[in-house]
Structure formats: structure tokens, C-alpha cells
Amino acid sequence: MSLATVASDAQEASALQLVGAFLFGMVVGWYLYYINRHRDGAVRLSDLVTVIGAVGGGTLLAVFPAGSDLFGAYGVGLFCGFFGYLTVLFLLVRKSANFGVDFFIDGRRRPPADGEVLVPGPDSGAMGEDTAGGLRR
């Protein structure tokens, strides 16, 4: 069965369904970027399999048939969510006095001012690495 046959057999999607598929794609894309950004280990093959499963898995294709307007709206939403996270992060880093462009390369940040403390946690060191005093050198 070709994509043209699937597309012609699919019912026309309403505007609400298209908006819903787009917003669902945005949430998934945003969350995928968030998960990859806050990882605490090296990239593994299983990570790639997880992303492919989330982006185009069997359950997703059952909800949004391939070649349909719903799948297209989901794909556009996925793109907007993934790169929307990056855009918001870029704008926040650019506006902040505590971060520079090097943050995107290796997670560097400026040391806290006197009287300021980094809270322990997954982001206590740059890119999830816990380093001496919570700072990456």
C-alpha cells in the first residue's frame, strides 16, 4: 500500500485534531530535548532507540497514521518543541550574566558571587557533572 493510498483513505482531520496533534508533538519534542540535555552519562545506542520509539513508534503511528495531516501536524509540533527548547535556552543564556556562549560547548558557567551557593542536584555541575564545589573549571 502506497502513502498516496493511505492518505486518500484517511478521514479529513478537524482543526481541533490538527492543533492537538501539533501540541502533542511540541510536548514530546520539548521533553526529548530536556531529557537529552539533563542526561548524566554517555550517549548509548539504547538512547537512540528510545528517541526513535518516542518520535515514530508503533503506538504513535496507530494514533497518527503515516501520510495523514495528523502525522504532519505532529511532526511540525515535534520540530517546534525540540528547537523551541533550544531557542528558549539560547535566549536565557544570552540574557543571563552568569552564562556565556561556552555553556553550549561544555556547560561552563561563571562562578557564583560572594554569598551565593549552587544548590546540590543534577545541575550542580555543568551538563550534569558534579565537580568540585559544583563548578566546572
Task: Report how far residue 19's alpha carbon sits from residue 46's, in angstroms, rounded to the nearest whole number.
Answer: 31
Q: What is the pLDDT along the chain (137 residues), one digit of tens a residue?
A: 444 444 444 568 889 999 999 998 898 888 888 877 777 667 677 776 777 777 767 777 788 888 889 888 988 999 999 999 999 999 998 898 888 888 877 777 888 888 888 777 655 544 445 444 444 44
Count other C-beta atoms under 10 Å from residue 96's C-beta: 12
Task: Report how far residue 131's alpha carbon sits from residue 137's, in angstroms, rounded to the nearest whole number.
Answer: 8
Look up cell 542526561; give the residue.
Answer: 39
Q: Please spell the DSSP secondary structure of 32-51, one letter per residue.
A: HHHHHHT--S---HHHHHHH
Amino acid identity of 5? Answer: T
Task: Report how far residue 65's alpha carbon sits from residue 102's, in angstroms, rounded to the nearest whole number.
Answer: 42
Task: With 0.75 as the threshold, say if the pTM is over it.
Answer: no
Within 42-107, strands assigned E span none
Q: Give the pLDDT of residue 6.
A: 45
Q: Give the pLDDT of residue 37.
A: 76
Task: Report how far residue 33's alpha carbon sits from residue 81's, in angstroms, rounded to the nearest whole number.
Answer: 8
Asked if residues 134 and 120 have their Cβ atoms less than 8 Å apart, the reply is yes
Q: Give the pLDDT of residue 98.
A: 84
> Residue ranges of the domains in the chain?
12-95, 99-137
